[in-house]
Chains A and B, each alone.
Chain A
Amino acid sequence: MDKCWQNHGRQMSMIRNIFLFLDRTYVFQILMSSSLWDMGLELFKSYIICDQNVHSRIIDGILLLIEKERNGEMVDRCLIQRLLTMLSDLQIYQESFENKFLEETSRFYEAEGRKIVQKKEIPRCLYHMKKLLEEEIDRVRTYLHLNTQKLLIAIVEKQLLGEHLSTVLQKGLSYLLDENRIEDLSLLYQLFSRVDCGVQVLLQHWIDYIKKFGNSIVINPVKDKTMVQELLDFKDKIDFIIETSFLKHEKFIVAMKGAFETFINKRPNKPAELLAKYVDSKLRAGNKEATDEELEELLDKVIILFRFINGKDVFEAFYKKDLAKRLLLGKSSSVDAEKSMLSKLKQECGTAFTNKLQGMFKDMELSKDIMIQLKQYMKNQNIAGNIDLTVNILTTSFWPAYIPKEIQLPPEMERLQENFKNFYLRKHSGRKLQWQSTLGHCVLKAEFKKGKKELQVTLFQTLVLLMFNEGDQFSLEEIKVATGVEDRELRRTLQSLACGRARVLIKNPKGKDVEDGDKFFCNEEFKHKLFKIKINQIQMKETIEEHTTTTQRVFQDRQYQIDAAIVRIMKIRKTLNHNVLLSELYNQLKFTLKPSDLKKRIESLIDRDYIERDKENPNQYKYIA
């Protein structure tokens, strides 16, 4: 057949050449008849190709050859090419070949697609698909008509991948993401973006994956310790995948944000709290693992996580508590880092959010100035004193609430306090000073037999230790009477001094806990390799207590916020249906809430005559002016 066509072609061109002149002049003028060449083709077509037998043999032959090639056999590509050119020259390419060919292709790849998706692992399956696609494109280039390319590739894509989108993703996406297979993911994305709704489906699975993985980090209380770090790592990984594999596709970024927000708020309050604590651990002194730049970068990442969290007030409460500790105990590693964190928070949530935090910083700075003035004043007043006093003046509303504890100070310290009080109130009359004994700390000079030491201790520890200037041995009860420190607190203090790492006191009888009737001696033989020693107060269950009060305060604040929001809305709307009110509240309030929480507040407001229930329609509320 091929030969026959070639012969015909050769003869035809010869005939044409001979009659070229005729062709050009005569045939052109008579429009009815076609050129000799065309006529030749026409004749060939009607006599040879249109013969049913020959026709079907040609087409089937070609298809058979292509299928053989698809199955990996070597075939004569030139032959196919020549035959197909013939068909297209004869203008029957489309009707007699293309349609059948596409049908055949569709059938072939349907089977192929099913086979590879079922049998192969996803990464290999993806590569295989990619290879098949490339082969098809190559096929088009070498011997198929260019017009066919679009249709062909579309069919291949659809049959090979489009039909199996979900299967592929279910089987392989989480594996690829878990293993962080960047290249495979890129390929996956490329392939999927070729197919109709491929990206859509991928997006859905992407969201599901993030939610599922995130949930597993957030929900499990056992993982609380590492939650934030894991979240940060996860976020990094996801970001990297979006950037490299998904070409920063806008939709994927948006979806990722949505998914993060959903799962992080699945568990109310805890993530916010842990995030605040995480920041605390990074900002606290002694954390030398990161350089300033690294810290800065880390804080930026934390802020991004923070952005997803609904209960920002919880974060604020815990952050504030920890910040107070850092500032007062001088534990903050760097003022710059603190300030930068603060400005980030400010940028994120506005001044109202950081107002109090900023107030705390301001207090600290003002206190420094006041201390300088105090020294001046002491000099002028000729008040001698061998004890340095540093006072931080804290504005009550900015700082966390501390419960003042009554204690008995030794006379020298009492005098100092009195002194400061006179000085301060002379400048700022009308203010009320309240001493927070729990926050005080002192440096004591002590002479032991083995040498001088400087002890850095809390105020309570100081009170106990100062007693041993007067005597050698005291019982628990005696110390309690003398210092006035509350029982539980005192036991803890003594424990830190007599049972901790640096034992400046000796307890009799020995033991880990302080019992009634225990006696304490000064440890004259005390030795330590350092000159300056810091004796930590033993942290007891206080943290749990602190924790619950902090959370409680947050909830209290929230109730006021809810009440305010309800009244605000009702004042504008006058009457409102229950469900409409609820949805408006959800819009206004940023933290996660159960409907029953809101209902309780609504009922409370009804009870307090801010609003009332419509007498006829219990689903309707009315504002009472």
Chain B
Amino acid sequence: MYRKYDSTRIKTEEEAFSSKRCLEWFYEYAGTDDVVGPEGMEKFCEDIGVEPENVVMLVLAWKLDAQNMGYFTLQEWLKGMTSLQCDTTEKLRNTLDYLRSLLNDSTNFKLIYRYAFDFARAEDGVSDCELPASTLAEQESEKDQRSLDINTAKCMLGLLLGKIWPLFPVFHQFLEQSKYKVINKDQWCNVLEFSRTINLDLSNYDEDGAWPVLLDEFVEWYKDKQMS
């Protein structure tokens, strides 16, 4: 009787969320700092069995409300992991499917999509994209800027929309040849709107609508391309 009680107690203790364990878990990756840096992040990803550039990492970052890409602070960690009720690698690994499922809900997706802009904008290192060194340097100087570097934007868009928006490859191609160097938040948000509402043949696109000029140009470019 006692033993039985004991064993359930131990079991519930193991299952129940413990801030203490969560804290210990955090320092496993943070080392002596109060933040999980790039190296810790790499190890963390390895442990939970996800590549750093997997979209689920973005969802996790969103759940943690992380401010900088590639970093989790102590506060973010504690708050976010508490809400997920995770204090061990294993528990988190079991939650990944739930995190992935969040992407299927369109309201959540929109939130994640918008979050991704600020998140990626604030970064100074780029962990999930391979960028040439020169743009990396630019990136650093643009830390406080309001817009997102076009290369980062392309990566992020690929991550978020690549699988669900059939026109993404064309849009990507358009960005490649365009003179745009940065994407602002308004343009960013409207790309999602565009991908959701506009037919694949662009037939319901209204040039006189409020679409940003970027998208006007995309549509024009695409139509020209199809003509030739």
Contacts and interface: CB of A to CB of B under 8 A. Distances in A.
Interface in A590-606: 595-596, 599-600, 602-603, 606
Interface string A608-625: 000001000011110000
Contacts of A599: 210, 212-213, 216
Contact of A603 (B184, B208, B209): B184
A595 B206 CA distance: 13
B213 A619 contact: no
A619 B210 CA distance: 5
Contacts of B209: 578, 619
Interface residues on A, range: 10 to 19
Interface string B103-132: 000000000000000000000000000000
Among A602, A618, A620, A621, which residue has the most Cβ atoms of chain B within 10 A?
A618
Interface in B168-204: 184-187, 189-190, 193
A613 B213 contact: no
Contacts of B190: 613, 618
A618 B184 CA distance: 15
Contacts of B210: 578-579, 599, 602, 613, 618-621
A607 interface: yes
Nearest to A606: B186
A596 B193 contact: no
B187 to A, nearest CB: 7
A603 B213 contact: yes
A595 B208 contact: yes
A618 B208 CA distance: 13
Interface in B125-147: 146-147
A75 B203 CA distance: 73
B213 A596 contact: yes
B188 to A, nearest CB: 11
B192 to A, nearest CB: 10
B213 A618 contact: no
Given A596-B213, A613-B186, A579 B193 contact: no
B208 to A, nearest CB: 7
A579 B208 contact: yes
Interface string A562-587: 00000000000000001100000000
Nearest to A614: B210
A578 B189 CA distance: 16
Contacts of B216: 596, 599
B187 A618 contact: no
A607 B184 contact: yes
Contacts of A600: 213
Interface string B204-220: 00001111110010000
A621 B212 CA distance: 13
Among B184, B186, B216, which residue has the most Cβ atoms of chain A within 10 A?
B186
Nearest to B194: A618
A578 B206 CA distance: 12
A579 B209 CA distance: 7
B186 A607 contact: yes
A607 B212 CA distance: 12
Contact of A618 (B146, B147, B185, B193): B193
Contacts of B208: 579, 595
Nearest to A604: B184
Nearest to A599: B213
A621 B211 CA distance: 12
Nearest to B185: A607
Contacts of A595: 208
Contacts of B213: 596, 599-600, 603
Contacts of A579: 208, 210
A151 to B, nearest CB: 52
Nearest to B208: A595
A595 B213 CA distance: 10
Nearest to A582: B208
Nearest to B114: A615
Contacts of B187: 603
A617 to B, nearest CB: 9
Contacts of A619: 209-210
Nearest to B147: A607
Among B190, B193, B210, B212, which residue has the most Cβ atoms of chain A within 10 A?
B210
Contact of B146 (A596, A603, A607, A613): A607
B21 to A, nearest CB: 38
A532 to B, nearest CB: 55
A603 B185 contact: no
Contacts of B193: 618
Nearest to B197: A618
Contacts of B147: 607
A283 B91 CA distance: 87
Contacts of A596: 213, 216
Nearest to A600: B213
Contact of B189 (A613, A620, A621): A613
A579 B187 CA distance: 18
A618 B211 CA distance: 8
Among A579, A620, A621, which residue has the most Cβ atoms of chain B within 10 A?
A579
Contacts of A621: 210
A72 to B, nearest CB: 62
Contacts of A603: 184, 186-187, 212-213
B121 to A, nearest CB: 13
A606 B212 CA distance: 11
A158 B184 CA distance: 66
A596 B213 CA distance: 6
Contacts of B146: 607
Interface in A411-458: none
A620 B209 CA distance: 10
Nearest to B212: A603
A613 to B, nearest CB: 6
A579 B208 CA distance: 8
Nearest to A607: B184
* The 7 nearest A-B residue pairs measured at CB: A578-B210, A606-B186, A619-B210, A607-B184, A618-B193, A599-B213, A596-B213
Given A599-B213, A613-B189, 20 more contacts: A579-B208, A579-B210, A595-B208, A596-B216, A599-B216, A600-B213, A602-B210, A603-B212, A606-B184, A606-B186, A607-B147, A607-B185, A607-B186, A613-B190, A613-B210, A618-B190, A618-B210, A618-B211, A620-B210, A621-B210
12 contacts: A599-B213, A599-B216, A600-B213, A603-B186, A603-B212, A607-B184, A607-B185, A607-B186, A613-B190, A618-B211, A619-B209, A621-B210
